Amino acid sequence: MADVDRTPASEADLDPAPPATGRPGLRLALGAVALAAVVLLARAAGDEIPRFSAWVGSLGPLAPLVFGAVYAVAVVAFVPASVLTLAAGAIFGVAKGVAIVFVAASVGACMAFALARSVARGAIERRISTQPRFAAVDRAIARDGRRIVFLLRLSPVIPFNLLNYALGLTRVRFADYALACIGMLPGTLLYVYTGHAIGLAAAAAGGAGRARTPTEWALFAVGLVATVVATALVTRVARRALAEATG
pLDDT tens digits, 203-238: 666 555 555 666 766 776 777 777 778 777 777 877
pLDDT of 177 over the 90 cut:
yes
Please tell me the distance from the alpha carbon of residue 200 to that of residue 239, in angstroms, as a whole number: 33
Please tell me the distance from the alpha carbon of residue 47 to that of residue 27, in angstroms, as a whole number: 32
CB 155 within 8 A of CB 18: no
List the one residue out of 113, 85, 105 whose CA is nearest residue 197.
Answer: 85
List the one residue out of 58, 29, 44 whose CA is nearest residue 86.
Answer: 44
Q: Which amino acid, residue 150? A: F
Percent of the chain with pLDDT over 90: 20
pLDDT, tens digit (0-9, with 9 covering 90-100), for 65-80: 999 998 999 999 988 8
Which residues, in sequence order, are CB contacts of 97 under 8 Å at separation 6+? 88, 89, 91, 192, 195, 196
Q: Please give the pLDDT value at position 131.
A: 66
Instruction: Give the CA distances from residue 203 to residues 41, 51, 58, 64, 145, in Å, rounded to whole numbers and listed in that order.
Output: 12, 10, 17, 21, 44
Q: Please give the pLDDT value at position 175.
A: 92
Rg of the chain over Cα atoms, rounded to whole angstroms, equals 19
Q: Quick one: DSSP state of residue 4?
A: S
Q: Please give the pLDDT value at position 210.
A: 57
Q: Whats the size of the chain, residue-wise?
A: 247
List the one residue out of 197, 186, 198, 195 whose CA is nearest residue 235.
Answer: 186
